[in-house]
Amino acid sequence: MTVQQNDRRSRVMVVDDERALAGMIANYLDRAGHHVRVVHTGTEAVPAAREWAPDVVVLDLGLPGVDGVEVCRQIRTFSDCLVLMVTARDGETDTLIGLSVGADDYMSKPFSVRELVARVGVLLRRPRASASVPAAGLRLGGLHVDPQAREVLLDGSPVHLTRTEFELLATLLAQPRRAFGRRALIDEIWGPDWVGDEHLVDTHVAHVRRKLDDDPARPRFIETVRGIGYRAGSGS
């Protein structure tokens, strides 16, 4: 089906080598009102994402050949789309691997296709926490967050964050005196409808810290508040 220029439906690309499952997911997503494209290999997925510019990619971690980890890593070099990683095993290692290369969310197989479609809808309805950031942006020490350009500069050098990482950093810096619990950050960034393991927040915080070269033992930008969660650091 050709997408018309006035077609405002969200674009969802499904990447899974299990053809029957991919077809079922695509069918349910189509019924939910999304425009869907299906590819079955990692080799196809990267150029398809570059050409089609999906809003969401439902990406199987265990693809043969070029696996989902590498696909996600390559997509993140040119796209800020939302990535829902699907793992075949309910293991912490698989989850961390998927999130470490820029996935925004994850689900473990087996899953209800209806639940997956609902999760895609939740991702697309995510609030833009950075929308409340002043147009001039936020500064903390040598860190500058520009919501208009979706850009982060550290001592004048760009820091490449995923959409989720950017929203997390902007949320903390916008309310510097507030200590956020995990659930509060989820409500701000993923939205109140999100359901899953709230330790997802910890993984994304770790990624932001690593990219900002922010030592958790002596944090400049993100502090851990014991028993609560996280807050913005002092910048020094």
Query: Domains, the chain, ranges and CATH?
Result: 11-124 (3.40.50.2300), 129-232 (1.10.10.10)
Half-sphere exposure of 131 (CA within 13 A, CB side): 6
pLDDT at position 4 is: 43
- DSSP letter, residue 216: T
Count of CB atoms within 10 A of residue 16's CB? Answer: 25
Does the reported pTM lie above 0.85? no
* Alpha-carbon distances of 31 from 10, 24, 118, 196, rounded to whole Å: 12, 11, 12, 24
Answer whether 23's CB lies under 8 Å from 40's CB. Answer: no
Q: What are phi and psi of 222, to 5 degrees?
A: -130, 115
Residues in the chain: 236
pLDDT at position 5 is: 44
pLDDT at position 228 is: 93
Write out the chain's pLDDT in tens, 236 residues: 444 444 578 999 999 999 999 999 999 999 999 999 999 999 999 999 999 999 999 999 889 889 999 999 999 889 989 999 998 765 566 667 777 778 888 888 888 999 999 999 988 987 666 556 666 678 999 999 988 788 899 999 999 888 889 999 999 998 888 999 999 999 988 888 887 778 889 989 999 999 999 999 999 999 999 999 999 998 87
Distance in angstroms (rounded) separating the CA atoms of residues 230 and 236: 17
Q: Which of 55, 104, 43 is nearest to 79 (CA)?
A: 55
Half-sphere exposure of 220 (CA within 13 A, CB side): 17
**Residue 154: exposed, middle, or buried by beta-carbon count in 10 A (0-12, 13-18, 19+)?**
middle
